[in-house]
Amino acid sequence: MAMSTAEDTGMLLAANALADGWFIWEPSLLYRKHEAQVTVQQHHTEPIERQARRNLIVARVDALTSFLKPNLQT
């Protein structure tokens, strides 16, 4: 599934739908910001576009959860 932004969030939530995770104290992700990245562009914070990305991420997680863990459906 291709998304213009938030692909890291989508991937992490999809992985969480497939397997249990655990907490570690040390930082394990690095988020770098620079002036040319997509997340500083106006369309990234546009409400309709943002909600569309969130809906896509949630739909993917729901589909994985219902397919792979049918006993956990809400």
How confident is the model over 21-65, as pLDDT tens digits? Answer: 888 899 888 888 888 887 777 777 789 988 988 999 999 999 998
Q: pTM here?
A: 0.71
The whole-angstrom separation of Cα 61 and Cα 58 is 5
- Residue 32, classed as helix, strand or coil, is coil
Provide the pLDDT confidence category of residue 2 given band limits of 50, 70 and 90. low
